[in-house]
Structure 1
Amino acid sequence: MVKERILSVDIFRGATILLMVLVNTPGTWSNVYGPFLHADWHGYTPTDLVFPFFLFIVGTSIAFSYKGRKANAEVYKKIGIRTLKLIALGVFLGAFIIHFPFFKNFQDIRFPGVLQRIGVVFFFAAILFINLDWKKLIGVTAILLIGYWLLMTFVPVEGIASTLDRAPNNLANWLDVQVFGSHNYKADYDPEGLLSTIPSIASALLGVFTGLILTSKHAKKATILMGLGGSLLIIGHIWDIVFPINKALWTSSFVLVTAGWANLVLALIYYLTDVKKIEFGSVFRYAGANAIVIYFLSSFISKIMGQIKVGETSLHGWLFQKVYVHDFLALETSSLLYGLSVVSFYGFVGYFLYQRKIFIKV
């Protein structure tokens, strides 16, 4: 196990989780600047990078935590318990309501979700890492990405040629409807659906390779990460021609492009903090130390504020209108300021926990 912490990884993780909070809690979804919204379907925005960045850093952390560990019952038990905790927390968020009996009707509960995907991806990436060497992991990653591409483009749906559009004969969407029914995020698909979990495991495995580079004895790690990131970006954009970049489907081209950007961003942070020893980003490091806790709290409190009624609106809506909406501000600006205030609050929560050495492991 690597005992020495790499500061850039902590900063990257914390910045990613705070960005997740920012894009998830605007003042109003009706007025949001374009870069803070997901792409409608194909293509990607800066917001579409956030979740794959987190799965990428999950993989990097696996390389740190499990390097040198042998596969045994105790390790499998710890991996399994953590996986179940993440899935349970995710299902809880999807089911919770503030009034008795405190859970939605069964048919309205969303089964897939962000924490559920993190849990499943962590499970498979960790199991693969402790059982296979890096060469075999490259092979597994290639199989996952190419196999998903072949499934999505060549397997017909009920006798009809599959499409990559948002349609009933989209294989991933069709499977989510067949398996989860009314338990999806949308009636016709779920962005954290079943089939698209396959390539999301590859997102974490690409993070594993970055973790192996960072824990190696290479002298020019930042340069290697820059080269890797640029290569993944180029390959991903070329693949986009036949397998469009799409977050909702988590296409293989999306995996490569987002991992490419993740390596480039991490390489820059690594060069500044771990090579040049420039001190910055402490607030992100604090948040990164309790990343899952901060994400869960932000989602849970946001749900509560959205359900508490204040007159004709919610507590969230009332606070936004009373504090952030002004004639001299565009509504998009007001919405962004609300989100930044929420981020500042959770940045303080991260600082509070860090200073008191409270690290809640999920």
Structure 2
Amino acid sequence: MKKRIESVDVLRGFTIALMILVNTPGTWSNVYTPLLHADWHGLTPTDLIFPFFLFIVGISIYFAYKNKNNDLSTYKKVATRSLKLIGLGLFLNIFLPYLPFVNDFVTLRFPGVLQRIGIVFFISSVLYLNFKWKTLLGIGIIILIGYWLILGFLPFSDGTLPSFNRVANNWSNYIDLKILGNHMWQADYDPEGLFSTLPSIVTCLSGILIGRLLDNLKEIKYLFLTAVVLLASGYIFDIWFPINKAIWSSSFVLATSGWATLILAVIYYLRDIKQLKFGNIFKYIGMNAITIYFLSSFISKSMYLIKVGENNNIHNYLYETIFVQSFLSNNLSSLLYGLSVVLFYIGLGYFMYKKKIFIKV
């Protein structure tokens, strides 16, 4: 884009800030419920964060490649970026607290947030480079309906009927377990598993389509109307296919894309139309989103590794010394620690922005 859409940068940065906040509480024993994922079915504010980022990846794909030639050099750039994201994600999985670089390969987790972003980015970019928007819309609808039919109605080889619950006869978990085995987050499922990556591609495609709408937007009401349609579709579909982040259900795709579109519409109206200068603190992070997310994960893991005394580490020492106070509740102390971490990365984002340091992964 010759002229950046400010609201996209603000939403991207806001999403990364929330991602850091929910990933770095003072202690996982004391966290406010909205800052936790739903146990299984359902939708919390925390469940919106990852789909929001994939949605924004889709918008970025639209503007980055709308004028690109469909040639080998473009595919090389797409593949290179995808491999970098997957590599960074695997690096974070290897670099586990208390076991740096010596994690047993037998139980090494293969999936992860950055890995899914890399895979989704690659597939979505290739689709965008080869198909018109109507075809992309059709592909998205077919994936969502097909995913629902498989998880809800396709019986297993022994005749057992499938389920949407967290059990062995859930197709998403079953396929991941067969392919990944011990290389998952939990023994029975992985929230960034292989099969659930399929509908997450549609989340990215929805961002591509919204990017096209933004590029040709004549009236803001169409953006709000699209959000309403997506939200209504998601919550109605929830009746038959429960909203669920862990398996990235089709209703989850529609509902979260709806929320992302609605919040983007509000920010777009205030920032790009009314020219109100708010949200710059998030824009600073948004300009180096992947870099700051990776650093936050790496530094957070490192703080568990560096010992303070015999039985403590930097994370616990800072949390217990500064934030655990008698006049604060345990949940509030934990939240304040997370907010301080977010402020640190906002400061880092501001420094990088002012120094014109923009790292493209």
TM tier relative to shorter chain: over 0.9
Structure 1 segment 268-307 matched on structure 2, within 5 A: 268-307=266-305
Shift of 1:4: 1.2
The residue number in structure 1 matching 2:55 is 56
CA distances 1:283-334 after superposition (whole Å, capped 9, x unpaired): 1111000000000000011111122333323321121111100111011000
Shift of 1:108: 2.5
Task: Check whether the contact 2:145–2:250 (CA below 8 A) recurs between aligned residues.
Answer: yes
Q: Secondary structure at the match of 1:309?
A: coil
Amino acid at match of 2:52: F
Is 1:213 matched with 2:213? yes
- Which stretches in structure 2 are left out of the alignment for 5+ residues? none
Paired residues, number = 359
The residue number in structure 2 matching 1:191 is 191
TM-score w.r.t. length of structure 2: 0.97
Counterpart CA distance in 1 for 2:185 and 2:99 is: 23
Q: Percent identity?
A: 56
Decide which of 252, 270, 287 is 1:254's aligned counterpart: 252
Counterpart CA distance in 2 for 1:158 and 1:44 is: 32
Is 1:177 matched with 2:185? no
Q: Secondary structure at the match of 1:92?
A: helix
Shift of 1:113: 0.2
The residue number in structure 2 matching 1:18 is 17
The residue number in structure 2 matching 1:332 is 331
The residue number in structure 1 matching 2:68 is 69
Is 1:110 matched with 2:109? yes
The residue number in structure 2 matching 1:229 is 227
TM-score w.r.t. length of structure 1: 0.97
Task: Check whether the contact 1:156–1:171 (CA below 8 A) recurs between aligned residues.
Answer: no
Task: Check whether the contact 1:144–1:198 (CA below 8 A) recurs between aligned residues.
Answer: yes
**Which stretch of the first structure deviates more once superposed, 98-107 or 52-61?**
98-107
Is 1:81 matched with 2:80? yes
CA distances 1:200-220 after superposition (whole Å, capped 9, x unpaired): 00000000111001111x321
CA distances 1:190-245 after superposition (whole Å, capped 9, x unpaired): 000000000000000000111001111x321x211111111111110000001000
Superposition misfits of 4+ residues, deviation over 6 angstroms: 98-101
For residues 154 and 325 of structure 1, do their structure 2 counterparts lie closer, same or farther at Cα, with a shift above 3 Å needed? same
Q: Secondary structure at the match of 2:182?
A: helix
The residue number in structure 1 matching 2:34 is 35
Q: Secondary structure at the match of 1:313?
A: coil
Counterpart CA distance in 2 for 1:156 and 1:30 is: 39
The residue number in structure 2 matching 1:164 is 164
Amino acid at match of 2:192: E
Task: Check whether the contact 2:10–2:282 (CA below 8 A) recurs between aligned residues.
Answer: yes
Shift of 1:144: 1.1
Amino acid at match of 2:178: Q
Task: Check whether the contact 1:25–1:342 (CA below 8 A) recurs between aligned residues.
Answer: yes
Shift of 1:125: 0.7
Counterpart CA distance in 2 for 1:9 and 1:314 is: 38
The residue number in structure 1 matching 2:133 is 134
Counterpart CA distance in 2 for 1:265 and 1:273 is: 12
Shift of 1:96: 1.3
Counterpart CA distance in 1 for 2:100 and 2:298 is: 17
The residue number in structure 2 matching 1:357 is 356
